[in-house]
Amino acid sequence: MDKSIEAIWKEGFLNEKSLVAPKINDLYNQKSIHLVDRMLRMFRINLIVILITAIVFPVIYYFLDALWQGLTASVLLLLTAWYNKRQIDRIKTLDQGSTSLDYLRSLDQWLRDILSKSEKIARFSYPLYLLIAISTIWSVWDKQGLTLKIHQKFPNLTVIGNIPLFLLIVAGIIVLLMFIFSAKIYKWEVRLMYGRVFGKLKETIAEMEKLKQ
C-alpha cells in the first residue's frame, strides 16, 4: 500500500472531492450523533431519577415522622431537576457550526460551563442535604427518647433548646467539612456517572482535530 490508513483518513476528511471523504465524514457524523444522543439519554435518565426521588422522599420521611425534612429535601431536588432541565434544553441552542467538529467543540464548552456552575451550586446544596439528614436523624432519636436519656445520664451538659452543645458542634464541623469538600465530591460523582462518555467526547474531538492538521 502506498498510503497508510491514517493518511487516507486524513485526505478523506480534509478533501471533500476525495472518494473517501463522504465515508469518513459520514463516519464521524454518525459517531458524533451517537455520542450526543448517548449523553442526552444519560442526562434525561438522571433527571427522571431526581424526580422520582423527589416524589418518594416525603413518603419515606413521613414514616420516619420527619415529614417537614422530607418536604424540604423534595423541594431542593425539584429545584435541581428544574435547573438541570433548563441546561439540557440549552443544547438545542448550541452553535452547530458547519461541521460535526464545530458542534462537538461547542458541546464541550457547554459542558465545561455547566459543570463549573453546578460545582458552585453543590458547594451550598450538599451541606443543605447533609443538614436535612442530620436533622432527620436527631428528630427520630428525639422521638425515641434519646434526648431524655442523654439529659438523665449527663445532667451537666450544656444544652441549646433540647440539643446538647457538643452535638451541635460536631454537626457544625461535619457540615463545614462538607462545604469545603463539596466541589471534590461533586467532581467525583460526575466522573462516576459521566466519566466515560465525557472522555469519549474529548477523545473524538482530539481525533477529528488531528485529522484536520
Query: pLDDT per residue over 8-23, tens digit each?
Result: 444 444 444 444 455 6
In tens, the pLDDT along 201-210 reads 888 888 777 7
% of residues, the chain, pLDDT over 70? 80
pLDDT-based confidence at 5, cuts 50/70/90? Answer: very low
| Pair 98, 205: CB distance under 8 Å | no
User: H-helix or E-strand containing 97?
Assistant: none
pTM of the predicted model over 0.85? no
The answer for residues whose C-beta is within 8 angstroms of residue 34's C-beta and 6 or more apart is: none
pLDDT-based confidence at 58, cuts 50/70/90? Answer: very high
